[in-house]
């Protein structure tokens, strides 16, 4: 990979912005395929309890803007605000798992690979019980304020591993650049509304270039479930399918997945005096 994962988790204190580095551990696997760059990760049981509140804070942060969180905490107090947030986060099981997958996948790409995600798309969903339209993940590799590469990702969070889920994620990636990722226009509009005109214009430039040439991009599938085979993505290379270019696959195995998802949605953790969120 052009941006290898950080290996300094022991040097960074555990926080909302570093929990992935402390939590997930690489699972050994044979790198015997050329067309897919993959990483397999396991839950670190001894770290889960320490990480859980930071993960819960990230779940809340991806759904509700940090300034709104801070304002409601000031108005209601910490405990009442936390109850308010829990009532306004998704309750439906599949929506929770889908959003959980997007948050964990997004934070993994931000924390381990240093990609930039200027907009948390889940804040702009039509309904808190409906899935977001467009690609699950849009992030950027930045170079002195310019977008050097677009990161397009599909996050899938299911209890039981299914090949059909991986196939579906790959198909969505293949359709994402015909002619451009559909989420780019939404991101630009949001950034203009927030007064971040330079970045909004830069994303518009990228959107136009997608229709004119093959703009640099990476395609990611992040699969989260309880139990995975030794290589959950190998079958893609064995089937008669044209793999998307620059395909990176991450498999994350989490024990008691449903219990973890429900806990972080039922117990959101508002930040206290932390204004570093996106």
**Distance of alpha carbon 122 from alpha carbon 125, whole angstroms:** 5
Q: Which two tokens stand for residue 14?
A: 């555990």
What's residue 35's pLDDT? 82
CA distance 222 to 231: 13
Point out the residues of the chain with pLDDT beneath 50: 1, 273-278
Handedness of CA 211, 215, 112, 11 (dihedral sign): negative
pLDDT at 276: 43
Report the C-alpha gap between 231 and 29 in whole angstroms. 8
Q: Can you list the positions of beta strands (E) in 60-143?
A: 137-143
Q: Is the CB of residue 159 less than 8 Å from the CB of residue 258?
A: yes
Give backbone dihedrals phi and psi of 52, rounded to 5 degrees, phi first: -50, -50
- Check residue 29 and give its pLDDT: 73
Bond from prior residue into 179 cis (ω within 30 degrees of 0): yes
């Amino acid at each position: 990979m052009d941006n290898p994962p950080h290996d300094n988790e022991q040097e960074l204190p555990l926080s909302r912005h570093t929990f992935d580095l402390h939590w997930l551990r690489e699972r050994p696997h044979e790198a015997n395929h050329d067309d897919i760059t993959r990483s397999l990760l396991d839950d670190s049981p001894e770290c889960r309890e320490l990480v859980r509140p930071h993960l819960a804070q990230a779940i809340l942060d991806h759904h509700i803007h940090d300034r709104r969180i801070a304002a409601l905490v000031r108005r209601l107090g910490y405990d009442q605000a936390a109850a308010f947030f829990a009532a306004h986060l998704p309750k439906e099981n599949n929506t929770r798992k889908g959003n959980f997958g997007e948050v964990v996948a997004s934070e993994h790409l931000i924390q381990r690979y240093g990609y930039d995600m200027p907009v948390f798309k889940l804040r702009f969903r039509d309904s808190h019980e409906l899935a977001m339209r467009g690609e699950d993940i849009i992030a950027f590799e930045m170079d002195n304020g310019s977008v050097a590469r677009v990161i397009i990702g599909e996050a899938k969070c299911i209890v039981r591993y299914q090949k059909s889920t991986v196939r579906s994620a790959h198909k969505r990636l293949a359709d994402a650049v015909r002619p451009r990722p559909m989420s780019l226009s939404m991101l630009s509009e949001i950034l203009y509304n927030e007064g971040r005109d330079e970045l909004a214009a830069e994303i518009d430039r990228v959107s136009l270039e997608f229709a004119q040439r093959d703009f640099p991009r990476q395609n990611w599938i992040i699969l989260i479930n309880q139990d995975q085979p030794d290589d959950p993505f190998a079958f893609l290379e064995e089937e008669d399918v044209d793999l998307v270019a620059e395909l990176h696959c991450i498999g994350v195995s989490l024990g008691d997945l449903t219990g973890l998802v429900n806990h972080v949605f039922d117990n959101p953790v508002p930040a206290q005096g932390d204004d570093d969120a996106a």
